Each structure stands twice: as C-alpha cells, then as structure tokens.
Amino acid sequence: MEIRTKRLILRPIRIGDEKEIHEYAGDKDITMMFWLPNDTFEETVDFVKENAEEWNSEDQTNFEFVIILDGKIIGGCDCDLGHSEDRSYATLGWIINKKYRRQGYASEAASAVLRFAFENLGIDKVYAQCDINNPASFAVMRKIGMKCINDKGTRTYPRTGETSGEYTCLITRDEWETKAER
C-alpha cells in the first residue's frame, strides 16, 4: 500500500524506519506530541514494531503511515479507529520533522490520509485534536476542510502533568465529498 501526492509518498510504517522516525520523535521540543516515543531510541523501536505489526492484523484499528520526501522519512500521519467502538469514525494525527515544517507537507499528507480514511475504511467522520498553543496543527485542520467543534477542551500531558487547552475539529464524509468536488 502506498499513497502518492504531488510531492510525497505515504506508506505503512515498517521495521527499518526507526532511525529516521527517532530523528523527529526524539526531539525533546515536541512536548505537544505526547504520544510519540520520544524518551529513548528503544521506545521508538517498540513503537515501530507495534505499528508495523498492526498493518498485518485482521483487526487493524490504527493505520500509521510514514511521510517520505525525496526518499527520506520526514514525518508520520495516522488514522486511528481505536476510539470508535463501532468503527464509524477515526481520529487523524500528524507530525513533521522540524527541519521540514512550514512547507505544506503536513496538510498534503493529512489530506491524503483523510482521503484514504473515507475511501478505504468506510467511515463517516474524522476528528483531529491539537493543543491550543499549536497554531500550525490547527491551521492544517482548517486547510484540509475540518471545522472546529470544540475550543473548550483540555489535555493533560502525562510526562509533565501540565494541562493545556485543546481544539477538536471534525470533517464528515459529506463535507469532504463536497470539498473534493470543487
């Protein structure tokens, strides 16, 4: 499985991706991305192994893609059905190596994975969330057609215990199809 965009290739995460993934996952400045295995390289190895195995599971709920630019992994984007008991919606997330930010790669990758979610997974809604102090992620959500449905949420970071505000955005299949027709 491979998704191609104008500039990027997205493919399932696989064993052997650890070093390039740890380059951005190990960045201690990425405190907003608390789900990343950013303490040790061994955590990154475990993260890659777990997510690579997920692609071979009959009960797959998480679709973790790496984002490749000119042969180099520059980030990741995932579509996760694990929060939806009936698999009717997914959550979308992304991260770009800070060396490659502000060039539209996150929007391009997120849009491609959004298309994958609606066309391949049979879901009707996709949600995304970000810290209120992460305007770049919020801008990606708006750029791919998502609408903010809650700006009063909170999140607590397990590693620091800090609490921050959270935006929740949503796009439905109908909204995505209407946007795609334009």
Could you tell me which residue, 179 or 19, shows the higher pLDDT? 19
Q: pLDDT tens-digit profile of 27-64?
A: 777 655 556 666 788 888 999 999 999 999 988 999 99
pLDDT of residue 162: 84
The confidence band for 83, taking pLDDT boundaries of 50, 70 and 90, is confident
Query: How many percent of the chain have pLDDT more than 70?
Result: 93
Q: pLDDT tens-digit profile of 109-124?
A: 999 999 999 999 989 9
Q: pLDDT tens-digit profile of 85-110?
A: 888 899 999 999 999 999 999 999 99
Contact criterion met (CB below 8 Å) for 180 and 148: no
Say which range, 64-68, 85-89, 170-174, has the weakest mean pLDDT: 85-89
Looking at the DSSP assignment, which residues form a beta bridge with residue 89?
125
User: What is the span of the domain harbouring residue 138?
Assistant: 3-181
Length of the chain: 182
pLDDT of residue 36: 65
State how far the Cα of 152 lies from the Cα of 129, in Å rounded to an integer.
12
For the domain that residue 73 is a member of, what is the CATH number? 3.40.630.30
Give the closest residue to 66 by CA, choosing from 97, 45, 39.
97
- Coil, helix or strand at residue 78: strand
The answer on pLDDT for 143 being more than 80 is yes
> For the chain, what is the mean pLDDT?
90
Number of domains in the chain: 1
pTM for the whole thing?
0.91
Q: What is the mean pLDDT of residues 4-26?
A: 93
Range 10-19 burial, b when 16+ CB lie within 10 A, else e: bbbbeeebbe
Residue 23 has φ and ψ, to the nearest 5°, of -60, -40
